[in-house]
C-alpha cells in the first residue's frame, strides 16, 4: 500500500497562499518550540487557543461532566445507604449519612448471581463475536457500489428496521426450532441489527477507493481485501459496533423471559431485575396474604445498587473500545 513518499507534492497546489514549508523556517521552528512548551500535546502547527475560547470550552465541558457526575454520585451514594436513610430523606440520598454495603452484599450473596454472570458473559462473548463477524461480512458485501443485487439485498436489511415481528410468532418459531431453554435462543433472534450493518457499510464506503483498487490490482480477492485492508482501516467502527452488540446482549432480558424456563440459565439482567421487583405488593393482597419473611432488604438502595452493577461491565470494556478512538491510530496501522 502506498504510504506517500516523503514530501509528496500537494495536488493542485495552484495559487498556494502560504508557503508550505513555513513551519520549517527558523521563525516557525521557534514558534513551534514555544507552543510545545506551553502544551505538551499541542501539535507544532496548531495555534494556541484564544483565552476566551479556552474558558468557554472549559466551562461547557465542566458543565457536561458535572451534569453526569452529580446524579451518578447520588445514585452510588444511595446504593451505599441504608433503607432507613432513604426513607429519612424521602428519596435519593445526596449527603452521605449512614453507609453500608448491605445492598451489594444482598445482591451478590445470592448463589444464582455468580452463575448468571457467567451465563451473561458467555452469551455476550459468543453473541458479540457472531454478530460482529456476520455484520462486518454483510456490510462489506454490500459496500461496493454497483455490485450485483446489492440494492435488493440492502432493502432486505432496511425492511427489518421498520417491520417487526410480533412476540408470539417469534416465540412459536423459536419453540419449533427447538431452541427453548437453549442459549442460542438468546443470541440468534437478534443476531443481526440492520442499523449496525448500515453503520459499518457507511464507514467502509468512506474508505479511500484508491487503496482498495490498488489492492485489487495487486491481485487480492475480496476476502483478502476485507481482512488485510478494510478491517485494519476500520478498527474504530468495528469496535463501536461490537460495543453496541455487546451492550445489547448484556442488557437484554426480555428474550430470556420468553425463551428460558430453566431459572438456572437466566442471564444476569433478569436476576438483577428480580431484586428490583422484590417487595412489590401484589394486587389484592392485604394483611393476610402469605408472604414469606426472608428478611431481605428492599427499596431504593437495592434498586440503585442494581443500577450501579449494570454500569460496571461497560466501565471495564469501554477503555478497550476507546483505544481505537485515538487520533491517527488508524493511519499508523495502515502505514505500519
Partner 1 sequence: MTSIGQIVRRGGAGAAAAPDPVRDPAGTSARSRRGSPPVRRLSLRTRLRRDGALLVMVLPAVLLLGVFAYVPMLGNVIAWQSYSPYTGFLGSPFVGWANFERVFSNPLFIDAVQNTLLITAFQLVFFFPVPIVLALLLHSVITPQIRTTIQSIVYLPHFFSWVLVVTIFQQIFGGAGLINQTLRDAGLGSGFDLMTNPDTFLVLLTMQSVWKDAGWGIIIFLAALSTVSPEQYEAAAVDGANRWRRMWHITLPALRPVIVLLLILRLGDALTVGFEQLILQRGAVGADVAEVIDTFVYYQGVIYGDWGFAAAAGLVKGVVSLALVLGANKLAHVFGESGVYQKS
Partner 2 sequence: MNTTTTAGRVGDLPVRRRSFLGMVAAGAAVAGVPSLLTACSSGDAPPAVAPGAAPAAGVLPTYVPVDYVEPDFPGVNGSTPGFATLPTELVQSVPEPPGSGSTFTAMTPLWGTIPPRDGNQYYEAVNEMLGASIEFQITDGNTYGDKLATVLASAKDVPDWVCIPTWNIPPRFGSEIVPNLFQDLTDHLGGDRVKDYPNLANIPTDAWKFCVFNGRLYGLPFPGEIITDATFYRQDVLEELGIAPDVRTGQDLLDLAAELTGGGRWGAEDLWVTAAAMHAVPPKWRLEGDRLVHRVETEEYRAALAWNAELFASGSVHPDAVADNSGEAKTRFQSGSSLIMSDGLGAWHEALRDNLASNPGYWQQPFDPFAADGGTPVLWKGNPANIFSFLKKSDDAARITELLALANVLAAPFGTTEFDLVQNGVEGVHYTRGDDGLPVPTALAATELQPTYIFLVDGPIANTRVQYPGFVEASSTWQQKAAEYIADPLFYAQQIVEPSQYASIGQPFADLEKDISRGRKSLADLDAAVETWRASGGEELRTFYQEILDAQ
Alpha-carbon torsion (70, 71, 73, 78), positive or negative = positive
Measured from the CB of residue 317, what is the shortest distance to partner 2 in angstroms?
Answer: 24
In the list 3, 10, 146, 261, the residue contacting partner 2 (rule: CB under 8 A) is: 261
* Closest CB to partner 1 among residues 197, 252: 197
* Closest CB to partner 1 among residues 55, 291: 55
**From partner 1, partner 2, none, interface partner of 112 (C-beta below 5 to 8 A by class):** partner 2
Contact flag: residue 263 with partner 1 (CB under 8 A): no
CA-based end-to-end distance of the chain = 10
Q: Which conformational region is residue 149 in: left (phi greater than 0), alpha (psi within -120 to 50 degrees), or beta? A: left
Residues paired with 81 in a beta bridge: 99
Contact flag: residue 295 with partner 2 (CB under 8 A): yes
Nearest to 293 by CA among 306, 278, 305: 278
**In the stretch 279-308, what mask flags binding to partner 1 with x, by CB under 8 A?**
-------------------------x--x-
**From partner 1, partner 2, none, interface partner of 188 (C-beta below 5 to 8 A by class):** partner 1
* Closest CB to partner 1 among residues 145, 295: 145
- Residues 227-256, interacting with partner 1 (CB under 8 A): 233, 236-237, 239-240, 243
- Residues 147-206, interacting with partner 1 (CB under 8 A): 147-151, 153-154, 156-166, 168-170, 172-173, 188-192, 194-195, 197-199, 202-203, 205-206
Contact flag: residue 216 with partner 1 (CB under 8 A): no
Q: Which conformational region is residue 15 in: left (phi greater than 0), alpha (psi within -120 to 50 degrees), or beta? A: left
Give Cβ neighbours of residue 169 (< 8 Å, ≥ 6 apart). Answer: none
CA distance 57 to 35: 19
**From partner 2, partner 1, none, interface partner of 316 (C-beta below 5 to 8 A by class):** none
In the list 89, 179, 247, 334, the residue contacting partner 2 (rule: CB under 8 A) is: 89
Q: Which residues of 155-189 are buried (b: 16+ CB within 10 A; e: fewer)?
A: eebeeeeeeeeeeeebbeebeeeebeebbbbbbbb
In the list 55, 67, 99, 125, the residue contacting partner 1 (rule: CB under 8 A) is: 67
**From partner 2, partner 1, none, interface partner of 48 (C-beta below 5 to 8 A by class):** none
**From partner 2, partner 1, none, interface partner of 111 (C-beta below 5 to 8 A by class):** partner 2
Secondary structure of residue 180 in the 3-state scheme: coil
Contact flag: residue 319 with partner 2 (CB under 8 A): no
CA distance 65 to 61: 6
* Closest CB to partner 2 among residues 17, 168: 168
Per DSSP, helices labelled H in the chain are: 26-38, 51-79, 83-89, 102-109, 111-141, 150-162, 167-176, 184-187, 194-206, 209-217, 222-225, 231-233, 235-251, 254-259, 268-277, 300-322, 329-335
Contact flag: residue 153 with partner 2 (CB under 8 A): no
* Closest CB to partner 1 among residues 42, 115: 42
Q: Which residues of 106-120 are buried (b: 16+ CB within 10 A; e: fewer)?
A: bbeeeeebebbbebb
- 294 close to 209: Cβ distance less than 8 angstroms: no
Residues that bind partner 2 (CB under 8 A): 82-84, 86-91, 106, 109-112, 161-168, 170-172, 175, 180, 253-254, 257-258, 261-264, 266, 270-271, 273-296, 298-300, 303
Amino acid at each position: 500500500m502506498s504510504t506517500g513518499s516523503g514530501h509528496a507534492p500537494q495536488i493542485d497546489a495552484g495559487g498556494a497562499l502560504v508557503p508550505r514549508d513555513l513551519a520549517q523556517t527558523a521563525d516557525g521552528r521557534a514558534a513551534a518550540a514555544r507552543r510545545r512548551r506551553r502544551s505538551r500535546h499541542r501539535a507544532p502547527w496548531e495555534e494556541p487557543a484564544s483565552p476566551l475560547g479556552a474558558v468557554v470550552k472549559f466551562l461547557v465541558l465542566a458543565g457536561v461532566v458535572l451534569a453526569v457526575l452529580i446524579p451518578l454520585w447520588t445514585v452510588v451514594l444511595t446504593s451505599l445507604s441504608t433503607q432507613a436513610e432513604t426513607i429519612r430523606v424521602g428519596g435519593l440520598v445526596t449527603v452521605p449519612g449512614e453507609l453500608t454495603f448491605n445492598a451489594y452484599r444482598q445482591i451478590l450473596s445470592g448463589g444464582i448471581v455468580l452463575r448468571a454472570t457467567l451465563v451473561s458473559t458467555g452469551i455476550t462473548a459468543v453473541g458479540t463475536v457472531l454478530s460482529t463477524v456476520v455484520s462486518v461480512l454483510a456490510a462489506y458485501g454490500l459496500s461496493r457500489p454497483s455490485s450485483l443485487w446489492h440494492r435488493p439485498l440492502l432493502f432486505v436489511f432496511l425492511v427489518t428496521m421498520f417491520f417487526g415481528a410480533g412476540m408470539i410468532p417469534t416465540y412459536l418459531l423459536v419453540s419449533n426450532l427447538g431452541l427453548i431453554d437453549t442459549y442460542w435462543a438468546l443470541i440468534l433472534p437478534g443476531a443481526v441489527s440492520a442499523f449496525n450493518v448500515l453503520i459499518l457499510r457507511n464507514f467502509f464506503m468512506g474508505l479511500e477507493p484508491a487503496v482498495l483498487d490498488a489492492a485489487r490490482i495487486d491481485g487480492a480477492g475480496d476476502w483478502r481485501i476485507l481482512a488485510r485492508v478494510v478491517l485494519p482501516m476500520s478498527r474504530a467502527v468495528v469496535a463501536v459496533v461490537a460495543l453496541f452488540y455487546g451492550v445489547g446482549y448484556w442488557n437484554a432480558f426480555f428474550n430470556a423471559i420468553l425463551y428460558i424456563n430453566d431459572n438456572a440459565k437466566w442471564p444476569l439482567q433478569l436476576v438483577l431485575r428480580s431484586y428490583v421487583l422484590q417487595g412489590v405488593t401484589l394486587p389484592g393482597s392485604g394483611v393476610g396474604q402469605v408472604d414469606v419473611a426472608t428478611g431481605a432488604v428492599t427499596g431504593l438502595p437495592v434498586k440503585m445498587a442494581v443500577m450501579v452493577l449494570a454500569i460496571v461491565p461497560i466501565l471495564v470494556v469501554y477503555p478497550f473500545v476507546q483505544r481505537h478512538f485515538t487520533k491517527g491510530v488508524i493511519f499508523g496501522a495502515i502505514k505500519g
